Amino acid sequence: MHYRPTIGLEIHAELKTRTKMFCGSANDPDETRPNVNVCPICLAHPGTLPVINREAVRHILRIGEAVGGARADFTEFDRKSYFYPDIPKGYQISQYEHPLIIGGTLAGVALTRVHLEEDTARSIHSGGKSLVDFNRAGIPLMELVTEPVIRDAETAGRFARELQLLLRTLGASEANLEKGEMRIEANISVSHQLGLNQSEGLVGRTRSSDERVLGTKVEVKNLNS
């Protein structure tokens, strides 16, 4: 019996913009003082309303053009509910049903979508206590999702390096893994291929050698850490 992995990647990258995704606070990843680049909008004060960052949208459209994706005729943002200290609103503004870019290919890997969302704050754990720095909250994030068509770790690594190069070439992101500016998550399923006339307990039918039964999917996070 032979086993083969099926891998799909979800990659986030912090975009290079002057301001955050939905407010006028500075997007400065090099700021070391905590809670300096904040405002009532990114701190989720009651009554505040978001305004979309045009520069971030342009970055996504350029990325979509580079990978040969289709621009959406209609796009919208959704609320993705979380209950974490680093998400002040209690939800993340993201895209689901109507992303900005659909499809495309990069390094021979088919893409599902490219969309915009906002980053979370940064949690700092020290001395048995947890502190939250909201400088990162609301920074524009690109999320790129591949189809589950990658078959080995070498191809996955090659794809990530090619995307990193593309983001830097377009000026969309510095994409430094060590700074968390590009984060890679892998969805992995290991399947077994059955030989000819091996039913594996399936009544009334057999499976050919090219048919596969997908195993349980697991998500591996923070591959850059």
Query: Vertex 91, ends 216 and 219: CA angle to 5°?
Result: 20
**Is the Cβ–Cβ distance between 12 and 223 less than 8 Å?**
no
pLDDT of residue 192: 80
Sign of the dihedral through C-alpha 124, 127, 130, 134: negative
Q: Tell me the mean pLDDT in the region 161-186.
A: 97
| Confidence check: pLDDT of 138 > 90 | yes
DSSP state of 106: E
CA 97/CA 74 separation, integer angstroms: 10
The residue ranges of every structural domain in the chain are 2-220
Beta strand pairing call for 101-102 and 109-118? antiparallel
CA 39/CA 26 separation, integer angstroms: 10
Over residues 93-103, the pLDDT tens digits come to: 999 999 999 99
pLDDT band at 220 (very low <50, low <70, confident <90, very high): very high
pLDDT of residue 194: 61
| Confidence check: pLDDT of 199 > 80 | no
pTM of this structure: 0.88
| Confidence check: pLDDT of 161 > 80 | yes
Distance from first CA to last CA of the chain, Å, rounded? 34
Nearest to 122 by CA among 69, 86, 73: 86
**Is the Cβ–Cβ distance between 137 and 109 less than 8 Å?**
no
pLDDT of residue 191: 87
Average pLDDT of the chain is 91
| Confidence check: pLDDT of 36 > 80 | yes
DSSP state of 46: T
% of the chain with per-residue pLDDT over 90: 83
Nearest to 34 by CA among 132, 179, 178, 139: 132
